Amino acid sequence: MNHMTPDKPQQDPTQILDDFRASALSQLLVASAEAFDIGSLLEESPKSYESICDQLGLAPRSATVLLTGLRSLGLIDLNADQLVGLTEYGREKLSPKSPFNLRGYIGLGAFSVDTQKMIACLKNDAPAGDVSFVYHDDDGPSALDDPETSATLTRAMAARARNIAPFVAEALDLSSCRHLVDVGGGHGIYAFELLKRFPDLQATIIDRQPPLTVAEEYAANEGLSHRIEFAFGDIHHYCLDRPADVVLMANILHDYDTSDASRLVAHYAGQLTQGGKLVVLDAFLDSVPPGAPPISPGPRPVAAYSAMLFSICEGRCYRLDEYQTMLIAAGLQLDDHVRSVPAHGQLLCGTLPFPS
């Protein structure tokens, strides 16, 4: 029997991750019936996104996460005037006037502590609890600076990354690059796979010290320590000592609100060499047309992932068009092809053009 460790997973991790995240979408469904009563709000007529935010007292991020979740479930949709209304399915199951509504049954989910936390997150537009899983140098304590909490979180994220990183390395051609910068790279798994595929590549991993300690351990196990600089710092302001040929932002931008995510993209786009690439790896929600409400139709598993992120950090999953806007605003030219990897991951690349 061959006991050698394979170079990449032999089984697709997508379904188990979808199943793990699905509960967050259930919590949104309960919130829509029990705390915000979407069925009553929309039963008479469709309403604008802005009106829904106002009538429910929801901040835009909270409303976007909630309504995207409901749209991905087929309960609401947009009409030709870009107003939000119940679908026939949603009307039968959520409207109090329907003899076949499931409001009471769905409402049983409100007994769940996790659902109550989600409702609080939606009302407060903030993560539940006092622990922050993101870092700002002008903010309070972060879990990323607590060695025990950070090590647990970093190793957990590494487990997911091991299932995805080999496919990321196969999807990217970095043969002409020499300096990779992994922003908020934590465990370093994505950088390691790229270093193994491209022997001329050197990497800089920027993060807080506890995650970097884990990355240093993993790098030593891979025999890659001599090709990596472990850079302690605040990713929002860190300045490289030499330009980057490629910047990787792997599952990091979704931790932050739109303004911080956009600033991060601009900050590192400004530190690329001419012709250098910035790569965003994330699970993208589907785009919406220009001028339409920010309510994506899905995919449903990504809407669930967005809800889960919303409950523990400052961000959410972003739509493809939102990421494209961030890269264009940073002066990057978008690659035509968006590559896909397991677990709904997508790779969006932007290139810093040479002066004309």
Note the pLDDT of residue 139.
Answer: 67
Q: How many domains does the chain have?
A: 2
Of 78, 96, 124, the residue at which a domain comes to its end is 124
CB 201 within 8 A of CB 177: yes
Rounded Cα–Cα distance for residues 154 and 87 (Å) = 41
**Does one domain contain both 149 and 119?**
no
**Does one domain contain both 213 and 326?**
yes
- Confirm whether 1 is domain-assigned: no
- Report, as an integer, the average pLDDT of 154-180: 97
Question: How far from the centroid of its chain's Cα atoms is residue 141's Cα?
Answer: 22
Of 73, 91, 124, the residue at which a domain comes to its end is 124
pLDDT bracket for residue 140 (50, 70, 90)? low
Structural domain including 76 reads 14-124
**Does one domain contain both 198 and 341?**
yes
Our CA angle for 145, 149, 152, nearest 5°, is 125
pLDDT bracket for residue 4 (50, 70, 90)? low
Note the pLDDT of residue 2.
Answer: 47
Rounded Cα–Cα distance for residues 295 and 297 (Å) = 7
Alpha helices in 95-222 (DSSP H): 103-107, 113-124, 147-171, 189-197, 209-222
User: What does the H/E/C string look like for 49-64?
Assistant: HHHHHHHHCCCHHHHH
Average pLDDT of the chain, as a whole number:
95
**Does one domain contain both 20 and 167?**
no
Residue 247's nearest CA partner among 191, 209, 301, 300 is 191
CB 315 within 8 A of CB 308: no
Which CATH number does the domain housing residue 99 bear? 1.10.10.10
CB 101 within 8 A of CB 94: yes
Q: CA distances (Å), 260 to each of 18, 58, 59, 236, in order?
A: 27, 20, 17, 8
**Does one domain contain both 34 and 81?**
yes
306-319: pLDDT as tens digits: 999 999 999 999 99
